[in-house]
Amino acid sequence: VQLQASGGGLVQPGDSLRLSCAAPGLPAFRFDDYTIGWFRQVPGQKRETVSCISQTDGSLYYADSVKGRFTISRDDAKNTLNLQMDDLQPGDTAVYYCATGAYCSNYFASSVHSRGEGTLVTVSS
């Protein structure tokens, strides 16, 4: 499954961005059939789970570093996954990927099944 993330860009500290994820060309793929979420990666560093939604019970996970600033949501009507990112900080600079995974926890990033090309978020003054 190839997922497509979009919405990244260059912003200043304190700004907001909204990332979206879709599965173009895959009409049978439903986000609500999977544990789905976002992880990020800085070149040369390991993946970091950002947030996810559990397929089992719909529970949400947020990394401590983004809790209170980021909001994950799934639009079942549009079959998309979104990540609203507020009060962005330089430490949020990374390539963001949407993905399906086995676990909705801090292990999400290491349990990824499918992902696509990421979208670059750069936070700089």
For 63, which DSSP code?
-
35, 108 contact by CB (below 8 A):
yes
Asked which of 12-21, 26-35, 39-48, 85-94 is least confident by mean pLDDT, the reply is: 26-35
Name every residue whose Cβ is closer than 8 Å to that of residue 44 and which is 6 or more positions away in sequence. Answer: none
pLDDT exceeds 90 at position 116: no
- Residue 1 is predicted with a pLDDT of 67
Name the amino acid, one letter, at 16.
Answer: S
- Residue 24 is predicted with a pLDDT of 86
- Residue 2 is predicted with a pLDDT of 83
First to last CA, the chain: 36
Q: What's the pLDDT tens digit per position in 54-102?
A: 999 999 999 999 999 999 999 999 999 999 999 999 999 999 999 999 9
Q: Name the band, by pLDDT with cuts 50, 70 and 90, for residue 125.
A: very high
Distance CA 121, CA 35 (A): 23
Q: Tell me what the mean pLDDT of segment 6-26 comes to.
A: 95
